[in-house]
Amino acid sequence: MLEGGGAAMTIPFLWVPVTALACYTVLLAALLPACTNRAVRAFAGLVACFVLWTGGSMLMRMLLPIGWESFYLVSLLALFCIPAFLYRFLREFSGEEAPREEAVAWLLTLAAAAPNLLDGYLAKPTLEKLPYGGAVFRYHVDWRVAIPTALCLAVVALAVRLVRRRRKTPGVRLVVAGMAVLVLGNLASVLPGNIFPFDTLAGIVNAALIFWALYRRGLLQLRVFVASGAVSAMAAVLAGLLAMPAVRRALPLLRRMLGERYAGALWQVFWCLAVITALGTYHLLRWMVRRQFVLKERQRNLALQRFSVATAHNLPREELMDAMRREVQQIYGECPACVFLLHERRQQFLPTYPAGLENEVQPIGAKDPCAAWFGAQEGCVRAAQVQGAGMQIAQDKLSMMRRYGIRCIVPFKDDESLQGILFLGAPATERDYTNDDLMFLASMGAMMSVGLKNARLYRRLYREARTDQLTGLLNRRAFLAALEHQRAAGGAFALLLLDLDDFKLYNQLYGQQEGDRALEQLAGLLRRYAGEETALARYGGKVFAAAVPKLSGPEGVALARRIAAALAALNDAALCRLTFSAGVYGYSGGPESTQQMLEFADMCVFEVKQGGKNDVRLYSADGTQNPRPLADGQAYASTVYAITAAIDAKDHYTFDHSQNVAGYARALAAALGLDESHVRMIYQAGLVHDVGKLAVPEQILSKPGALTPEEYKVMQGHVEASVAIIRNLPSLDYVLPAAVTHHERWDGKGYPRGLAGEEIPLGGRCLALADAFDAMTSRRSYKAAYSVEYALEQLRQGAGTQFDPRLVPVFVRLVEEGRIQAGEREHPQPEPAAPL
């Protein structure tokens, strides 16, 4: 028997078990904190078995004083237990439930291992000296070794049977390869004359392959090595490996130099150096590991947080893709990328090319086998998996992947429905994507799927909020926004308003359902004749609107007539033919607001209704572009006269005031270039704008002093009284919008509704100026008349607050040019705070 100390250092191939033990120890230290699932726990048990087997073999070869036989026994028992632990890991890894087979495996393992406690199958090896001073163990094999070998092979056969059932499980092939290496290594180690520890080396390869299988499945990640326990184990092992050669050479030399007297001190120095080496190695490894794994992991986590915030904001799909692309490029640099997003109407995945790809890839059909294959995948897909899918992947996609070096594909799914596909080329910062990278991209893909779902729901809600449920056209609010956008763009367009004639009668004759069908028919005609670029809307219950780009006013009239003819052809045999009255306004880049344009078109609709319905009229200031003579207003002139006569009987000042306001407003409207019928409507609204004062008590109307708050409130009520009177006169209801808004202010502080800016009809804004000018230049019971100059200065000061700032200069110019003249009045000096 050789002495353990010196002989152990001359044992050949000692580095193999030392390296194996170091690897297993580090791996076990990393696995213990990460045992979050049954497969990883089973692998940790297998690694612990490897530690006992390799550690026992190494300590046996070191010939420690306590005796190598006990370490041999530990190593042998652990070796026979490896097949059972391997079977258990395979079962957990593949998800197979086979409790009876596992029980048989453990019974076979017990039968193979237990007799060796009494040298039943394999005799203890003998220790032989070598010529150069070392020592080796020689094993004596006879027929008895076939029994445990057969039992272990039976366990391996159970494992192979399990593998055959679960051969499609990802990673199983790697585990099978590790099993084959382990079996071959153990067979090679017992060959006659062999002294190399093939079994231990095969165990290292087997553990590495199993670890890689777990990593490929995503059950284990490389960041498990970042844990302090794993780093400490690696530091201790490396420090020990570094110290062993130094101690081997330094201790004998120092013993000869200093003698045995200082031998104890030398060991103290050795342990101090070992501790310092271990701590230095620990901090160095910790820094290296943090630099390699932790910083990148933190970068990925921050990217996920930012992208999660982006997806929570219900962004459009394009903005979501931009956000994802930015995060991916921030981590992996510029790399080729191509995104296919589902176009629901076309039922195709349309490609976009944000970086590195040319516009040559064809769309993918939603029902294409290629889309079905990507939709069936879980998480990220490597390019090798796609290329192995065979005919399911279109050749142009495979060609694109080869040409641009696509390495990773990320499908975006929503409720098991494929919404998009991301193709990524090789990262600029690394050679290829690691499994941690794939898991990060899979998380990004999952968030993208949620974002796409939110975006789709947002688009649906946005569409429902903007469209009419029956016809699918824009609703009033959405059309006003589209019209404003079209006006701001500056191009010419034609605005059409189509008001169905006698639609209430049509519903009564044919029923509500048929009426809805008629509305849908008219919406379909608008879509057919107006084109896709046109903003179409159901503007009211029976009113439709269209803003047709690049169309002049006369062309808009021709379009409306074609739609009318098509509508007549659809219901030619109906008892009540469906027709409409249409008004057209041609916009050519002028200062008109959307409200003014709609008001102009609505005036044309009113004129058509008054002239017999079922016609189209173009808004024109000179009236030359209207083919039909318009209603001259004589039918309702008597009504206006009767009302003004009633006002004169009640209050002669109000009668004169109404005449003045009507005349001033008519002059202003004509100067603005408004249509003749529009000018006439404003004039008539001026005549009746104060008809509600018939309901105001005489003592308040003729009071010589200032009104009390209560009296002023009664005076303000004349507007509502005007509405009550005029609404009962069907021939005059068209003047209501202008007549009841002449006390509204541009800044929204007027009454009765507090309208502001262009919310106030143009007629009401014209009447507000005329009313204020006449009120200042007329004599009243409580004040004298002010000068024209003073009145004009007050109008200038009120521009932008009380009055429309664009109308004030026009009105002032008309007065200064003499086209508007105030009556002859005395002009006393005004008081500082004269009311308007």
Q: Which amino acid is at 383?
A: A
| Distance of alpha carbon 483 from alpha carbon 740, whole angstroms | 26
Long-range contacts of 657-660 (CB under 8 A, 24+ apart): 657/690, 657/771, 657/774, 657/775, 657/778, 658/686, 658/687, 658/688, 658/689, 658/690, 659/687, 660/770, 660/774, 660/778, 660/822, 660/823
336 vs 484: which has the higher pLDDT:
484
Q: Which two tokens stand for residue 591?
A: 């200062």
**DSSP helix/strand/coil, 826:** coil
Among 7-11, 94-98, 670-674, 720-724, the range with the most confident prediction by mean pLDDT is 670-674
Tokens 């195709």 -> residue: 348
Q: What is the pLDDT of residues 578-590, one digit of tens each?
A: 889 999 999 887 7
Q: What is the pLDDT of residue 803?
A: 92
| Helix (H) or strand (E) segment spanning residue 616 | strand 616-618
The pLDDT of residue 733? 67
Compute the average pLDDT of residues 769-795.
85
Q: What is the pLDDT of residue 827?
A: 37
- Report the share of the chain in percent with pLDDT over 90: 8
Look-up: residue for tokens 């499945």? 217
- The rounded Cα 295 to chain-centroid distance in angstroms is 27
Q: pLDDT digits over 191-232, tens only?
A: 776 667 777 778 778 777 777 776 666 566 555 555 545 545
CB atoms closer than 10 angstroms to residue 409: 22
Residue 255 has pLDDT above 80, yes or no: no
User: Per-residue pLDDT for 519 more than 80?
Assistant: yes
pLDDT grade for 269, boundaries at 50, 70 and 90? low
pLDDT surpassing 50 at residue 624: no
| Mean pLDDT on 629-654 | 60
* Average pLDDT estimate for 801-825: 84
The stretch 8-30 carries a mean pLDDT of 65
User: Residue 558's pLDDT is what?
Assistant: 92
pLDDT band, residue 759 (cuts 50/70/90): confident
Contacts of 159 (CB under 8 A, 6+ apart): 83, 86, 87, 90, 105, 179
Q: Compare 525 and 279 and report the one with higher pLDDT.
A: 525
Query: If you write DSSP's letter for every residue of 93-156 in order, what string do you get?
Result: HHT---HHHHHHHHHHHHHHHGGGGGTSSSPPPEEEE-TTS-EEEE----GGGHHHHHHHHHHH
Cβ-based neighbours of 689, under 8 Å, separated by 6 or more: 658, 661, 722, 738, 739, 742, 767, 771
**What's the confidence (pLDDT) of residue 221?**
58
Mean pLDDT of 93-99: 74
Is the bond preceding residue 411 a cis peptide, omega within 30 degrees? no
Q: Which of 769-801 are b and which e, b meaning 16 or more Cβ less than 10 Å from the residue's Cβ?
A: bbbbbbbbbbeeeebebbbbebbbebbeebbee
Please tell me the predicted confidence (pLDDT) of residue 560. Answer: 92
- Spatial distance between the Cα atoms of 419 and 349, rounded to a whole number of angstroms: 8
50-54, 185-189, 616-620, range with greatest mean pLDDT: 616-620
Query: First and final CA of the chain: distance in angstroms?
Result: 125
Query: Does residue 145 contact residue 122 with C-beta atoms inside 8 Å?
Result: yes
Contacts of 541 (CB under 8 A, 6+ apart): 503
Q: If pLDDT is split at 50, 70 and 90, which confidence band does 828 have?
A: very low
Report pLDDT digits (tens) over 50-92: 788 777 777 776 666 666 777 888 888 888 888 888 888 878 8
- Average pLDDT over all residues of the chain: 75
Give every strand in the sheet of 417-425, ordered side by side.
Answer: 364-365, 348-355, 337-343, 417-425, 406-414, 381-382
Question: Would you state the torsion angle of the CA atoms of residues 290, 292, 297, 302, taken in this order, to the nearest 10 degrees?
Answer: 90
Assess contact for 492 and 586: CB atoms under 8 A: yes
Burial of 587 (0-12, 13-18, 19+ CB in 10 A): buried
Give residue-wise pLDDT tens across range 135-172: 666 666 677 777 877 887 888 788 778 777 766 666 67
Determine the average pLDDT of the residues in 9-24: 65
- pTM, full prediction: 0.52
CB atoms within 10 A of CB 41: 17
Calculate the CA dihedral of residues 6, 10, 13, 14 and round it to 10 degrees.
10
Closest of 77, 4, 91 to residue 39, by C-alpha: 91
Report the 10 Å Cβ neighbour count for 129: 12
**Run of H or E residues at 61:** helix 38-61
Phi, psi of 741 (to 5 degrees): -115, 15
pLDDT at 826: 38
Q: Rounded distance, CA 487 to CA 496, Å?
A: 14
Kindly tell me if the per-residue pLDDT of 632 is higher than 50: no
The mean-pLDDT minimum among 102-106, 698-702, 726-730, 823-827 falls in: 823-827
Q: What is the pLDDT of residues 369-389, one digit of tens each?
A: 777 777 777 777 777 666 655
Can you list the positions of beta strands (E) in 478-562? 493-500, 535-538, 543-549
pLDDT of res. 833: 38
How buried is 462 (Cβ within 10 angstroms: 0-12 exposed, 13-18 middle, 19+ buried)?
Answer: middle
* 48, 28 contact by CB (below 8 A): yes
Q: Per-residue pLDDT averaged across 796-801, rounded?
A: 91
Task: Summarize the confidence of residues 469-478 as an average pLDDT.
Answer: 90
**Tokens at residue 557, please?**
């009239």
Categorize the per-residue pLDDT at 824 as very low, low, confident or very high, splitting at 50, 70 and 90: very low
> Is residue 6's pLDDT more than 50?
no
Tell me which residue of 612, 320, 309 sits closest to 445, measured CA to CA. 320
Angle (CA) 252 258 261, round 5°: 100
pLDDT exceeds 80 at position 186? no
